[in-house]
Chain A
């Protein structure tokens, strides 16, 4: 067992265990309302408002490719928005918390009787899980709008035909799938960003590596989760309908 612990498999499994423990503590802290409202609002501003540029461009140009509304709602909208936000927000969270760690600010928080999970992780986690669905809705709306414009203005499709078919094939459940997915991906981005920041190695190199890993790992996790989440949600939809 000791041999296994020293291999990359052991290190990987230990990391998974640590992120699971951090997630459990964060959820417990959410349930007991230990986070400050002021910090939560600031994080919603940082993750939601400050990501507008990235999300608007992603949504608009995905729609112009002629993507149908149903794909925009339950696949491309949540996945592409989350990947873009992972690049911007996941990296920023890991860099900020990583710098706090190497300059002993996390230790200073602990000496001031403040749990880093309550003060740093929970506001980012909640804000990300609130902001991502809203950003996804925005991205979907823009994608459909730009797709409509391209279809009608450039390709000469009859607007009534386009609108009728979009409403016919896109159901409420597609939008709900997109929102559920983006809610989950918001959690993934915040948790991986916080974990990488709080456990980063010492020095500038450690912070740089944590930042890169936060983006890479959250992007991969989102893509893998998307596959399984789609399977599960489709099963649930079949059972319900």
Chain B
């Protein structure tokens, strides 16, 4: 279970989050939507302790991670897997070395077992036989899948996805959505997906949180939120720009 209480964060004079509250139950798939630059990625980075808030608290399975130092956080992070917006693959390593990274650092498997697990993880993300490729040889969608394989290989309890479909064509986006659903259902993980792709939000979420004006503006089941008649929610879901935003 992840709980965020009154989270505030600024970068210099710019306030990004102004008292965010949310609660994600174990096994639930939560989607955080909101406009670009609205603080979604900042929020998800607080959930895993990559950023420390100016005020407020984050609890993961009852542990207050906002009180922890970097070494204590390493223990908590073993529960997490994270897929980054730009995949964040280690570019000096091959695909197999990237995927095996977590296993080689923390688990004591034989080389044969590591290879077997890497193969299984790459099969799960539909990328068999790519072990020897370098990240530079992969397309954007393939990189995100490798990032996903790297995150799921040590079977985390919580998966975080930072804009997993941004910059991908609709067909590749669809395949990434299906992978997120497959990982959620097969590995029984808690998922938190940050996106501004409405189709993706509707498909992968059990619960949708909408960030607006630096706070959670609305939340609920996808069907309820997408049927909302609230003007702000409607505008975002329908993707309608304000008149002043289209003046040149």
Q: Which of B50, B85, B91, B160 contacts A105 (CB 8 A)?
A: B91
Given A103-B86, A104-B88, A105-B90, check contact A111 B74 (CB 8 Å).
no
Q: Report whether A108 and B90 are in contact in the complex, using a CB–CB cutoff of 8 Å.
A: yes
B209 contacts partner chain A, Cβ-Cβ < 8 Å: no
B82 contacts partner chain A, Cβ-Cβ < 8 Å: yes
B105 contacts partner chain A, Cβ-Cβ < 8 Å: yes
Q: Report whether A111 and B82 are in contact in the complex, using a CB–CB cutoff of 8 Å.
A: yes
B77 contacts partner chain A, Cβ-Cβ < 8 Å: yes
Give Cα A104–Cα B44 distance, bound, in whole angstroms. Answer: 14
A104 and chain B: residue at smallest CB distance: B88
Q: Report whether B71 and A113 are in contact in the complex, using a CB–CB cutoff of 8 Å.
A: no
Distance to closest chain A CB from B61 (angstroms): 16
Given A104-B86, A105-B88, A105-B90, check contact A111 B70 (CB 8 Å).
no
Give Cα A112–Cα B84 distance, bound, in whole angstroms. Answer: 12
Central interface residue in B74, B78, B147, by most chain A CB within 10 Å: B74
Q: Report whether B105 and A113 are in contact in the complex, using a CB–CB cutoff of 8 Å.
A: yes
Distance to closest chain A CB from B194 (angstroms): 14
Give Cα A100–Cα B92 distance, bound, in whole angstroms. Answer: 10
Chain B residues closer than 8 Å to A107, beta-carbon distance: 45, 50, 84, 88
Given A103-B88, A105-B91, check contact A115 B71 (CB 8 Å).
yes
Given A104-B84, A107-B45, A107-B50, check contact A112 B105 (CB 8 Å).
yes
Q: Report whether B105 and A108 are in contact in the complex, using a CB–CB cutoff of 8 Å.
A: no
A18 contacts partner chain B, Cβ-Cβ < 8 Å: no
Q: Report whether B106 and A113 are in contact in the complex, using a CB–CB cutoff of 8 Å.
A: yes
Contact with A along B113-147 (1 / 0, CB 8 A): 00000000000000000000000000000000001
- Total interface residues on A, using CB and 8 Å? 13
Chain A residues closer than 8 Å to B71, beta-carbon distance: 115
Give Cα A102–Cα B77 distance, bound, in whole angstroms. Answer: 21
Give Cα A108–Cα B102 distance, bound, in whole angstroms. Answer: 11
Contact with B along A109-120 (1 / 0, CB 8 A): 011111100010
A25 and chain B: residue at smallest CB distance: B70
Central interface residue in A108, A112, A119, by most chain B CB within 10 Å: A112
B92 and chain A: residue at smallest CB distance: A96
Q: Report whether A115 and B48 are in contact in the complex, using a CB–CB cutoff of 8 Å.
A: no
Q: Report whether B50 and A111 are in contact in the complex, using a CB–CB cutoff of 8 Å.
A: yes
Q: Which of B78, B86, B88, B160 contacts A113 (CB 8 A)?
A: B78
Q: Report whether A108 and B84 are in contact in the complex, using a CB–CB cutoff of 8 Å.
A: yes
Chain B residues closer than 8 Å to A114, beta-carbon distance: 74, 101, 105
Near A by CB (< 8 A), chain B positions 24-55 give 45, 48, 50
Give Cα A103–Cα B74 distance, bound, in whole angstroms. Answer: 21
Chain B residues closer than 8 Å to A111, beta-carbon distance: 48, 50, 77, 80-82, 151, 160
Give Cα A114–Cα B150 distance, bound, in whole angstroms. Answer: 14
Near A by CB (< 8 A), chain B positions 84-100 give 84-86, 88-91
Chain A residues closer than 8 Å to B101, beta-carbon distance: 112, 114
Chain B residues closer than 8 Å to A119, beta-carbon distance: 105
Q: Report whether B45 and A113 are in contact in the complex, using a CB–CB cutoff of 8 Å.
A: no
Distance to closest chain A CB from B1 (angstroms): 19
Chain A residues closer than 8 Å to B70, beta-carbon distance: 110, 115
B45 and chain A: residue at smallest CB distance: A107
Given A107-B45, A107-B50, check contact A112 B88 (CB 8 Å).
no
Contact with B along A2-22 (1 / 0, CB 8 A): 000000000000000000000
Chain A residues closer than 8 Å to B48, beta-carbon distance: 111
Interface residues of B (CB under 8 A from A): 45, 48, 50, 70-71, 73-75, 77-78, 80-82, 84-86, 88-91, 101-102, 105-106, 147, 150-151, 160
Can you name 23 A-B residue pairings with CB atoms under 8 Å?
A103-B91, A104-B86, A105-B89, A105-B90, A107-B50, A107-B88, A108-B89, A110-B50, A110-B70, A110-B74, A110-B77, A111-B48, A111-B81, A111-B160, A112-B101, A113-B74, A113-B77, A113-B78, A113-B102, A114-B74, A114-B101, A114-B105, A115-B74
